Each structure stands twice: as C-alpha cells, then as structure tokens.
Amino acid sequence: MTHATAIRSSLQDDSVAYGFWLTLPSSGVAKTILHGHSGPSAKFSWVLVDAEHGLISDHHYYELCNSIGSENASPIIRVPFAEDWMIKRALDAGAHGIMTPMCHNEVDAANIVKYSKYPPLGTRGYGPMFAPHSMPGVNPGPEYDNNINDGVTVCVQIESRAGVENVEKIAAVPGIDVLFIGPFDLSKMMGVTRGGDEHEAAIKRILAAAHAAGKKAAIFCTDGSDAHKRVVQGFDMVSITTDVGVFRNAMLAELKVANGEATSNAASRGGY
Ligand code: 3PY
Ligand code: MG
C-alpha cells in the first residue's frame, strides 16, 4: 500500500494539483493560507517549501512539514541542490515529496531517484524517526518504512537547454514522478525571452515528453491567470503564485486605495 499523501492522491485522481510557493519560514503563513477553505471549490493539495531561493533552511523543515501535513496538504521541499544528504534531510523531516533544481540529463535524474529511495531501489540512509509525523494516519515503523519508496513524490526541475534536449530520456527514468518546469531559469539558461516562441516551444516539448512517458507535468506560475492558461494547456500540477508575491501586491493595492489612486474591488473585510 502506497502512502496516500495529498499530492499523490490528487495526481492519481487526474485532477489538477494546485499548490503555492512558500518562501518564508512560517507555519503561520502556510496555515493561514491552507486552513478552513471557504470560497474556491478547488483546494491546495501541496505547498512547495523553498529551500533553494526562499528564506527556509534545514532547521525549519520539520515544523513546516507538520503544519502543512496537518492541513491535508503535502509539503514538497525544494532542496538547494540535488545532493544525497540534502534529499535525505528533507525526507527525514517529513517531506511528502522532494524537488531538485536543474536536472540536465538522465544521469542526474537517476541519481535523484536513487537518493530518494531506500535500498534496494536506492541509497537513502535509514533513520525516519520524525518523518511520519507529517503524514496523518501513517504509523512509524514498517508502515512508513515499507511504503515510502512508492509514497514519495519525486519532482525534477527542467530549466536548462540541456534539460530540454534530454527531456525524453529524463522522463523515461523509473521513479521520476513529475517534470517541473522552472520558466525563469529556463529562459535565462536558454538565452531566450520568457514567453517568447522558443521558450513556449521548450515548455510544450517538456509537457509532451512527460505525458508520453506516463509522467506528470508541472510548472511554476506567476499568478492565477498564468496558472489557468497552463491548466488549459494540459499541465497536471501548477503553482499559482508565491507567498511574498501575494503579500506585496495586496498590500500595495490597498495602499493605492487608501491614497485615493484606486478604488477597491476586493471583498470588504470586517476584521484582521
Ligand atoms: C524558475 O522559474 O526557474 C523556478 O525555478 C521557479 O521557482
Ligand atoms: Mg529555477
């Protein structure tokens, strides 16, 4: 039996898996967004805990994973680099999935799978004393140990010209679950305009390669309309936006209203 994490269930259902980027090391921020959904019929099934570019590091992982897991969403930790010890630390703290930046070829991809799985499939070292705490209903011991190789969601970022050129071979690597596009690095690494023809052609190639190999395709989006466009295009998993992006935009929009430069179109609020 595979652990039915929120992200795994959502991807298996063939429904779109919506998530957002957490760059601040704050359970309060994560839970404020996740807790008690009222409004949209869709819900967030995952949160990307960004230890590559966010202000999050190793010692924040455990608390963040538990807070996110307690809201029936999956913490996916983006480690700073695809190294075995970084992936091990993320999984041992309770990540339901890992994401690695800059997967350039099938050798990178095979190593990432190897670091994410216990023997005989891989080389993950053993010591999951804390890992099941973020997985409601999963007991420590054999229940976690015997199922986590299949339960962990392995996401690799395709965000370089080499990654695109090798994407069919990357997608074919057993144990890779999700090809996750980083559109900003992709444009910079390819030396092309973000949103231009070459960039969009690369994105389409990654999407097609993932699906041809029976894998899932995901992409980082800047806002809801960007995400909607990608859902219509056929992406299985989209990150809507980032915590700090939303805070800044919303705060500046309210400042404009207060200053008389704009009229509010947000729902009026009666409290904090
Ligand atoms: C990119 O766009 O490069 C990303 O990795 C998204 O954070
Ligand atoms: Mg990137």
Domains in the chain, CATH or no CATH each: 6-258 (3.20.20.60)
What is the Cα–Cα distance from 105 to 100, expressed in whole angstroms? 13
Q: Report the candidate in 8, 5, 35, 7 with the shortest Cα–Cα distance to residue 19.
A: 7
The two three-digit tokens of residue 131, written as one number: 């890992």
Predicted pLDDT at 1: 47
User: pTM for the complete prediction?
Assistant: 0.96
How high is the pLDDT of residue 198?
Answer: 98
Which residue from 159, 239, 241 has its CB within 8 A of the most atoms of ligand 1, so it is best to mutate?
Answer: 159
Whether 94 contacts 134, CB under 8 Å? yes
pLDDT at residue 268 in the model: 67
3-state percent breakdown (helix, strand, coil) of the chain, nearest 5: 45, 15, 40
pLDDT in tens, the chain (272 residues): 467 899 999 999 878 999 999 999 999 999 999 998 667 788 999 999 999 999 999 999 999 999 999 999 999 999 999 999 999 999 999 999 999 999 999 999 999 999 999 999 999 999 999 999 999 999 999 999 999 999 999 999 999 999 999 999 999 999 999 999 999 999 999 999 999 999 999 999 999 999 999 999 999 999 999 999 999 999 999 999 999 999 999 999 999 999 999 987 666 677 77
Q: How far is the CA of 159 from the centre of ligand 2 (A)?
A: 6
The response to whether residue 185 sits with its C-beta less than 6 Å from ligand 1 reads yes
* Ligand 1 in reach of 188 Cβ (< 6 A): no
Residues in a beta bridge with 134: none
Structure tokens at 1: 């039996």
Quick one: angle between helices 27-34 and 61-69, nearest 10?
10
Residue nearest to atom 1 of ligand 1 (CA): 182
- The whole-number pLDDT of residue 4 equals 85
What is the C-alpha separation between 124 and 132, in angstroms, rounded? Answer: 16
CB 130 within 8 A of CB 154: no
- Name the closest-CA residue to atom 5, ligand 1: 182
Cα 271 to ligand 1 centre (Å): 35
Nearest CA to ligand 1 atom 4: 182
pLDDT of residue 269: 72
Q: Is 46 in the pocket of ligand 1 (CB under 6 A)?
A: no
Nearest CA to ligand 1 atom 6: 182
Q: Residue 266 and residue 269: Cα distance in Å, rounded?
A: 9
Q: Whose CA is nearest to atom 7 of ligand 1?
A: 182
For 100, the enclosing helix (H) or strand (E) is strand 97-100
Neighbours of 111 (CB within 10 A): 19
HSE-up of residue 115 (Cα within 13 Å, Cβ side): 25
